[in-house]
C-alpha cells in the first residue's frame, strides 16, 4: 500500500494524458480495496484477498497501461486483469488484438480479462473486436460512477477514512481531466484553429532548435523525439551518465514548472525508478542543483517515479521578443543555461 502522503494526486503531473490518468487510478485502486473489488467484478472476475497492481507492464512487444493480479490468501495468483487506457487517442482494434494475445501468453493458465477505458468512443473496429473476445469497453465516467457508489456505501455517521479522501480526489481529478475536457465548437473557435496550429509549430521548432544546439554544445547524444518530447543521452564519462540521467526538452501547456506558471518550455535532466530513489535520498544533490538555478519536481510512485531538474522559459516572455530570431536566441540561452548547470561534476557527497 502507498503511504497517505503518496496519494492519487502524487501522479497528477505525469507528462501525458493517459499516463497521468493511469498513475492516478493505479494509486486509487491500491489504496481503496472497495473500488478494486468493484472494478474486477465489472470485468467478470471474482474478488481477491489482495491485489498486485503495476503500471506500464511490458510483455514482449506490448506495453499495457495497468495490470491487476488477484492474489489468494496464500499469496498464489488467482487471475490477471489488463486495462488499456485512452484519453484523447482513439482505441483501435489492432491494439486490442495485440494486447489480447500478449495477455494470453503472460497469464498462461490463469483466468484473465482485458478491459479498455476511454474518454471518447472507440473505433468501430475496436468495438467489433471487443465483442468477439469478451473484452469490456468502459468510459472514464464508469470508473467515477464506481467511486461514487463506494463513497455512498460508507455507513452514515462514520468519520471519513483515508480511502474516502482518495476517492474524492479521484472524482475531482476525473471531473477536470476525464469527463468534460472539451466544449462545443463555436464559429469563433474554428477561426482560431489555423493560428493555434501555427503557434504550436513555432513552439516545437524553437524547442528542437534550442535543445539540438545545447546538446551539441556540451557533447551530449543526438536528440530523439518521443511522445512530443525530446530526449538525449548525457556526455560519456559525465556524472549525469553515471547516475542514470536523461536530458530532456518539453512543452508544458498547463500547470507551469518551477517559478513559471504560464505555458512554457522546460530544459533539463531527469532520472527515474531506482535512480530516482537514489537521487531522492541525496539532499546534497538537490541543494547543489538548486543552487545552480535548476527547479526540481519530484514524482513519487511505487516504482520510484522520477525527478526532474530543469529551467523553464515562459512562452509569454518568449513572445515579448518580436522576431523569431530573438525568440530562438532566448530559448537557446535558457537551454544552454540548464544543460551547463547540470554538467559540472558535483561534490562526492552530492553525487552519492
- pLDDT for residue 181 is more than 70: no
Predicted structure pTM score: 0.58
Beta strands at 306-314 and 295-299: parallel, antiparallel or unpaired: antiparallel
Q: Which residues pair with 263 in a beta bridge?
A: none
Query: How far is 262 from 319, CA to CA, in rounded Å?
Result: 12
- pLDDT for residue 1 is more than 50: no
* 50-103 pLDDT, tens digit each: 999 999 999 988 999 999 999 999 999 999 999 999 988 889 999 999 999 999
The pLDDT of residue 103 is 96
Query: How far is 137 from 308, CA to CA, in rounded Å?
Result: 35
* Grid cell 465489472 in the structure block, residue: 42
Amino acid at each position: 500500500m502507498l503511504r497517505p502522503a503518496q496519494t492519487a494526486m502524487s501522479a497528477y503531473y505525469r507528462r501525458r494524458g493517459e499516463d497521468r490518468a493511469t498513475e492516478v487510478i493505479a494509486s486509487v485502486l491500491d489504496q481503496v480495496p472497495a473500488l478494486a473489488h468493484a472494478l474486477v467484478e465489472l470485468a467478470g472476475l471474482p474478488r481477491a484477498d489482495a491485489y498486485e497492481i503495476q503500471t506500464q507492464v511490458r510483455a514482449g512487444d506490448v506495453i499495457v497501461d495497468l495490470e491487476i493480479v488477484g492474489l489468494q490468501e496464500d499469496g498464489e495468483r488467482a487471475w490477471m486483469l489488463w486495462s488499456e487506457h485512452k484519453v484523447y487517442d482513439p482505441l483501435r482494434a489492432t491494439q486490442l488484438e495485440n494486447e489480447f494475445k500478449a495477455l494470453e501468453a503472460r497469464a498462461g493458465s490463469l483466468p484473465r480479462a482485458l478491459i479498455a477505458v476511454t474518454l471518447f468512443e472507440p473505433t468501430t473496429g475496436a468495438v467489433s473486436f471487443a465483442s468477439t473476445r469478451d473484452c469490456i469497453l468502459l468510459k472514464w465516467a464508469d470508473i467515477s460512477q464506481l467511486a461514487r457508489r463506494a463513497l455512498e456505501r460508507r455507513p452514515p455517521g462514520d468519520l471519513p477514512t483515508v480511502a474516502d479522501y482518495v476517492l474524492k480526489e479521484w472524482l475531482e481529478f476525473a471531473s477536470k481531466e476525464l469527463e468534460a475536457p472539451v466544449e462545443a465548437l463555436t464559429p469563433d473557435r474554428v477561426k482560431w484553429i489555423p493560428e493555434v496550429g501555427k503557434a504550436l509549430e513555432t513552439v516545437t521548432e524553437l524547442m528542437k532548435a534550442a535543445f539540438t544546439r545545447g546538446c551539441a554544445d556540451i557533447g551530449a547524444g543526438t536528440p530523439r523525439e518521443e511522445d512530443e518530447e525530446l530526449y538525449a543521452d548525457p556526455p560519456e564519462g559525465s556524472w549525469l551518465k553515471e547516475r542514470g540521467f536523461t536530458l530532456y526538452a518539453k512543452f508544458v501547456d498547463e500547470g507551469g514548472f518551477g517559478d513559471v506558471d504560464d505555458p512554457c518550455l522546460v530544459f533539463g535532466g531527469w532520472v527515474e525508478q531506482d535512480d530516482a530513489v537514489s537521487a531522492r535520498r541525496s539532499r546534497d544533490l538537490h541543494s547543489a542543483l538548486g543552487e545552480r538555478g535548476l527547479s526540481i519536481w519530484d514524482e513519487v510512485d511505487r516504482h520510484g517515479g522520477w525527478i526532474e531538474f530543469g529551467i523553464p522559459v515562459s512562452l509569454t516572455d518568449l513572445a515579448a521578443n518580436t522576431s523569431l530570431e530573438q525568440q530562438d536566441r532566448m530559448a537557446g540561452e535558457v537551454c544552454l543555461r540548464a544543460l551547463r548547470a547540470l554538467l559540472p561534476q558535483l561534490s562526492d557527497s552530492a553525487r552519492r
